[in-house]
């Protein structure tokens, strides 16, 4: 039975890895399609019907390109940087709960003896801390890439990104502390389950924390209007200027993986996670499948939000970025933490009763 559990766990990890890579590939296609729609042009439409094979063509292109090493780079560190970014992006998915527990297919039960599957690879008590730790490690990939490239634009991009991520991790951490205070747990499944009656976004402290978190989310993923680490008009493309072929693809995939991870985390922290609204299907056999479907729908909305904002808002200046983070976001984050403490002690029960 123990070996069966290990085998089932390995199959689940492999299935998640395939789903991640496939999802990220088609997320890039979705962004190009939506960008085309916003700019009144068709977008990719040559590789297969409606361009659906474009991600495959891009993947072949990245793999088939010649691997070039610029002169005077620190080769070991130069190769390590995209590996760190990609590894951290994949590791973050280990603690994301996509739903509850579903029955295992008959073939899997016959093979492993496992009768049910938790839609999560691991469920540690400190899931939120794990995610924050992994996302903090990702900055090393960008920082090392900027330094090891022996290029002034890459170095400036790496420095910018490091300062930006440190600055915006503080308000992001404070916004997550708000949710931890209201929930009383660092376990992501418990945070999701605690919203079975009222989503955190519908509570006063959660509403304030949500806007802090979303702003920090765009800065943490280096997306417009906060893509100062890659600003083409100033730094060519910043920290990955000297990267091409599959090395660039690793940075590219890591960025889109992080965007989907942040979309998952937003759903779990503020929008009820995999809880089905209004108790639809509660207690039914298909409740877990309905929860998974609603979770995916919420994640797709926030994934679309990344695209929408990118093609709508202009880039900030770097001094504006830092001023917003240190002079606005952090004070508001501290206020939200204090507000959440008072709310949890004095008002929470009365507020929840309004929705029951």
Q: Note whether 243 and 86 are within 8 A (CB).
A: no
Q: Please, which pLDDT band fits residue 279 given cuts at 50, 70 and 90?
A: low
Q: Note whether 122 and 95 are within 8 A (CB).
A: yes
Q: Note whether 143 and 161 are within 8 A (CB).
A: yes
pLDDT single digits (tens) 146-171: 888 888 888 888 888 888 888 888 89
Domain chopping of the chain, boundaries: 68-101+122-353
> What's residue 232's pLDDT?
67
For residue 286, pLDDT beyond 80 = no
**Total-model pTM:** 0.90
Going by C-beta distance under 8 Å and a sequence separation of 6 or more, which residues neighbour residue 147? 74, 77, 154, 155, 158
pLDDT single digits (tens) 57-109: 988 988 888 888 888 888 888 889 889 989 998 998 989 998 878 777 777 77
Nearest CA to 354 out of 207, 195, 203 is that of: 203
> What's residue 304's pLDDT?
92
- Phi/psi at 116 (5° precision): -145, 160
For residue 234, pLDDT beyond 70 = no
Rounded to the nearest angstrom, the gap between the alpha carbon of residue 287 and the centroid of all alpha carbons in its chain is 25
CA distance 277 to 279: 5
pLDDT single digits (tens) 194-230: 888 889 999 999 999 999 999 999 988 888 788 877 7
> What's residue 172's pLDDT?
92
For residue 138, pLDDT beyond 80 = yes
Higher pLDDT, 141 or 106: 141
CA distance 4 to 302: 37
> What's residue 180's pLDDT?
94
For residue 124, pLDDT beyond 70 = yes
Q: Please, which pLDDT band fits residue 280 given cuts at 50, 70 and 90?
A: low
pLDDT single digits (tens) 102-117: 777 777 777 777 777 8
Start-end of H helices in the chain: 2-38, 54-64, 75-91, 106-112, 127-148, 152-183, 188-193, 204-220, 232-235, 245-270, 287-310, 318-323, 330-342, 348-353
């Amino acid at each position: 039975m123990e070996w069966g559990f290990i085998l089932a766990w390995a199959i689940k990890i492999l299935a998640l890895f395939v789903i991640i890579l496939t999802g990220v590939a088609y997320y890039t296609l979705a962004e190009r399609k939506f960008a085309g729609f916003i700019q009144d042009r068709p977008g990719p439409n040559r590789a297969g019907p409606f361009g659906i094979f474009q991600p495959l063509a891009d993947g072949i292109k990245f793999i088939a390109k010649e691997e070039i090493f610029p002169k005077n780079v620190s080769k070991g560190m130069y190769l390590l940087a995209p590996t760190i970014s990609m590894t951290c992006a994949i590791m973050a998915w280990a603690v994301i709960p996509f739903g509850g527990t579903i029955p295992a297919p008959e073939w899997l039960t016959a093979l492993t003896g496992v009768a049910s599957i938790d839609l999560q690879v691991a469920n540690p008590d400190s899931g939120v801390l794990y995610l924050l730790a992994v996302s903090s490690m990702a900055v090393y990939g960008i920082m090392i890439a900027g330094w090891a490239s022996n290029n002034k634009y890459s170095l400036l991009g790496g420095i910018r990104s490091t300062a930006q991520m440190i600055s915006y991790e503080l308000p992001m951490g404070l916004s997550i502390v708000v949710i931890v205070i209201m929930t009383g747990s660092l376990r992501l499944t418990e945070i999701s389950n605690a919203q079975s009656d009222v989503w955190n976004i519908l509570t006063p402290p959660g509403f304030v924390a949500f806007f802090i978190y979303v702003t920090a989310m765009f800065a943490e993923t280096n997306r417009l209007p906060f893509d100062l680490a890659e600003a083409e008009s100033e730094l060519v493309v910043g920290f990955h200027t000297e990267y091409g072929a599959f090395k660039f693809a690793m940075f590219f995939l890591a960025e889109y993986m992080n965007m989907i991870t942040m979309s998952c985390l937003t759903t779990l922290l503020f929008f009820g996670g995999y809880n089905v609204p209004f108790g639809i299907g509660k207690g039914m056999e298909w409740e877990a499948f309905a929860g998974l479907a609603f979770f995916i729908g919420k994640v797709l909305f926030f994934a679309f939000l990344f695209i929408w904002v990118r093609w709508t808002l202009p880039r900030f200046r770097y001094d504006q970025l830092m001023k917003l983070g240190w002079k606005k976001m952090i004070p508001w984050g501290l206020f939200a933490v204090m507000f959440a403490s008072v709310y949890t002690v004095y008002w929470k029960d009365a507020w929840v009763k309004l929705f029951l």
